[in-house]
Chain A
Amino acid sequence: MSDHENRLNESLSALMDNEASDLEIRRILKELDAEDSPLAVEIKAKWRRYHLASAAMSKESVSAVDYSRAIADAIDSDDSHKMNPLLKILRRSGILAVGTSLGVSSAGPFAIAASVALVAVLGIQNISNPLGETNQTSRFAQQDEMADEQTTGPANQFPSGWQVPLDTRARTVSASGFNGARQYPHPIMEVNKINKAQHSEQEVSLYLADILAKHSSHAALNSNQSMLPFARIESHETVSE
């Protein structure tokens, strides 16, 4: 790839990020003037791909249809764009009094420029959002909120910090409610529905504490992680009861 091509590519991605200097924009436009040069075709294709990717990332609808030709034709056929800027100034200053009303002719290009800027700003916000990870400390806090939410009813009988959905609530997984706290939908366990009246909560709680404690001492012997498994045990009183 030649230096020129490299520079063009850089300019193009700068323009995509809305950070291109006037010089860079002019460089691209100049290249595009040579309508059918291979480079111009490539730039156009690249520009389209960049936008496609950005639309896909921000979950906008993606279309494979190329409107650029049609838009260019439409602009070409618009009289206000064909006017020589010098003529415009002269006309506005009253030296030349010809043709269409002033309002339309000046609002046209301005509106296009403004809408391009708006799209660029929105686009950038949408792209940067999913990448902006919240830090780890807040993750811990968010998990806590969820834990509180799930610890309802009989679950409160269990050692602190334990969530026990006794009857499996088949919930539809929706990420929207949690505002990103759970990015990965939790698998729903297929646990047979049970008749709660048959089982004493106390017994279930004791059973849980018992198997947890036994597991922890097995883990201490086998996990190679020194005393960490013991730290996991919630409360020992429950175990020895």
Chain B
Amino acid sequence: MIDLVKKKFKLAVIMTAIFTCGPLFAQQPDKAYDLMAQMIDASKQLNYAGLVTYEKLGNLKSAKVLHLVRDNEIFEQIVNLNGPEGEFINLSEVKGCENPSVMLDGTSALKINDSTYMQLKRSYSIEIAGSARIAGREATLLMLRPNDAWRYGYVVAIDKKSGLMLQSVLLSLSGKPMERFQFVEISVGGDLDSVEIPSGSYNLGVNERADCEISDSPLKQDAPKWQTGWLPTGFVMTGSQLDRDGDQYSMVFSDGLAVLTVFVESVETSIKVPPFLAKSGATVALVSKVLVDGSFITVSVVGEIPGDTAKRIAESLTPLPDLGKTP
């Protein structure tokens, strides 16, 4: 008897679950969803190398990229081919990287799931906008229009064969392209699947082993020290950390595509840095001052967002009341 009641109860729970999740499941067959999911999976699973161009403000930059995935480590290398010589290397440990991001599932790579997609859908209207040929490959164009004026829109081209993103054009609020990232040549898999990760050839810089590598240090997810009073809809905090010396506190927010970082400096650094606004293409860096306990603290908002958004976020920043001392 009790068993029967239990069974009925279970059934009721399941039915309720199905009904409440109904709208979520209804999104599943969405083709745009499949493409987004495919794109994100591909960028975390495939080995690829190629040549890319990056264009902004009429300047064209070309670079060689290498992307290798080995044993839960993602090795990324980008070498400038024109302009000042430069090489950038990033090694992120996918496993054990405790970034409490909604984008990250507990075990491994960045994964798109229903909540991510719903979050994206709240901020952008996503639709398939035809196809194009990029880097000699057939690609599907995906148009992501922002639902408000606090963020930019994108047109991305996704390789039909591999699912990799071959092109991304960021559009201003008036719909004009502000930057364009595009592969001119790409090779996926093949020999790259067995190539060793180049080691030792790079010296340690600020960005190397970013975020996750330092996860055993006090860097990962630190207790929040500051808070934002306002964020555009859809933006959630994907991480916050106090840097090694404890003099810079940063918070990262994302709506699934656009990312912005808020930096709060120590009193010492704050003195050295004046307030200013810098812009390049789609990236804006707003450095401003907040008066805390009689001293001006430098807070900076950096991201691929409109200047107004950065300004409004900067104005809404406040230190949390239980903060013993400024970072």
Find B280's partner among A163, A200, A218 (CB 8 Å cutoff): A163
Q: Which of B18-26, B61-69, B129-137, B221-229 lines the interface with chain A?
A: B61-69
Q: Tell whether, in the assembled complex, residue A216 and residue B57 are in contact, meaning their CB atoms are under 8 Å apart.
A: no
- Knowing A163-B280, A164-B278, A224-B103 are in contact, say whether A211-B254 is a contact too (CB < 8 A): no
**Residues A189 and B286 in contact, CB atoms below 8 Å apart:** yes
| Interface-lining segment among A11-19, A46-54, A154-162 | A154-162
Contact assessment for A191 and B288 in the assembled complex, using a CB-CB cutoff below 8 Å: yes
In the complex, are the beta carbons of A224 and B176 less than 8 A apart?
Answer: no
Please indicate the chain B residues that have their CB under 8 angstroms from the CB of A240 in the complex.
Answer: 203, 205-206
Whether B278 pairs with A231 at a CB distance below 8 angstroms is no
Q: Which are the 3 A-B pairs with shortest beta-carbon distances?
A: A144-B58, A217-B210, A194-B274
Interface footprint category on A: 35 or more
- Is the beta-carbon distance between B58 and A199 smaller than 8 angstroms? no
Contacts of B103 in A (CB 8 A): 222, 224
Picked from B78, B174, B206, B238, the residue with its CB within 8 Å of the CB of A227 is B78
Q: Is the beta-carbon distance between B280 and A227 smaller than 8 angstroms?
A: no
Whether A214 and B250, one on each chain, are in contact in the complex, defined by CB atoms closer than 8 angstroms, is yes
Asked whether B112 lies within 8 Å of A162 as measured between CB atoms, the reply is no
Those of B95-116 within 8 Å (CB) of chain A: 99, 101, 103, 110, 112
| A-B pairs with beta carbons under 8 Å apart, 27 shown | A136-B177, A144-B57, A161-B281, A168-B277, A183-B174, A191-B275, A199-B272, A203-B272, A203-B273, A207-B272, A210-B206, A213-B207, A214-B207, A214-B210, A214-B263, A215-B303, A218-B210, A222-B103, A224-B43, A226-B164, A227-B76, A228-B181, A230-B65, A231-B52, A231-B61, A232-B283, A235-B86
Tell whether B90 is near chain A: CB-to-CB under 8 Å. yes
The answer to whether A239 and B207 touch across the interface, beta carbons within 8 angstroms, is yes
| Contact assessment for B277 and A192 in the assembled complex, using a CB-CB cutoff below 8 Å | no
> Residue B168 contacts which of A136, A184, A212, A225 (CB distance < 8 angstroms)?
A225
Q: How far is the CA of A75 from the CA of B90 in the complex (A)?
A: 82
Within 8 A of B (CB), among A57-76: none
Query: With A203-B273, A212-B302 in contact, do A218 and B261 touch (Cβ < 8 Å)?
Result: yes
Q: Counting CB contacts under 8 A, is A219 at the interface?
A: yes
Which residues does chain A contribute within 8 Å of B52, judged by CB atoms? 227, 231
Q: Which chain A residues border B70 with CB–CB below 8 Å?
A: none
Q: Which of B50-96 contact A (CB under 8 A)?
A: 52, 54-59, 61, 63, 65, 67, 76, 78, 83-84, 86-88, 90, 92
State whether the Cβ of A208 lies closer than 8 Å to any Cβ in chain B: yes
- What is the interface of chain A, defined by CB distance below 8 A to chain B? 136, 139-141, 143-144, 147, 158-166, 168, 183-184, 186-187, 189-192, 194, 196, 198-200, 203-204, 207-208, 210-237, 239-240
Q: Is B259 located at the chain interface by the 8 A CB criterion?
A: yes
> Are B280's CB and A215's CB within 8 A?
no
Q: Are B254 and A191 in contact, CB atoms less than 8 angstroms apart?
A: no
B206 and A166: CB pair below 8 A? no
Tell me the number of A-to-B contacts counted with CB atoms below 8 Å. 207
Determine if B285 is an interface residue (Cβ-Cβ < 8 Å): yes
**B59 and A232 contact, CB distance less than 8 A:** no
Assuming the contacts A164-B277, A191-B277, A222-B252, asked whether A217 and B211 have C-beta atoms less than 8 A apart, the reply is yes
Q: Which residue of B lies closest to A230 (CB)?
A: B78
Bound complex: CA A147 to CA B261 (Å): 24
Kindly state the separation between the CA atoms of A221 and B239 in the bound complex, as whole angstroms.
Answer: 10
Task: Please determine whether A141 and B76 come into contact, CB atoms closer than 8 angstroms.
Answer: no
> Contact between B55 and A162 (Cβ–Cβ < 8 Å)?
no
Known contacts A204-B272, A222-B252, then 16 further A-B pairs from the complex at CB < 8 Å, ordered by chain A residue: A140-B58, A166-B274, A187-B307, A190-B311, A191-B288, A210-B206, A212-B285, A218-B211, A218-B250, A218-B261, A219-B261, A221-B238, A225-B257, A226-B67, A228-B181, A230-B90
Residue of B nearest to A234 (CB): B280
Does B165 count as interface, using CB distance less than 8 angstroms?
yes
Residues in A with CB closer than 8 Å to B288 are 191-192
Cβ-based interface call for B47 (8 A):
no
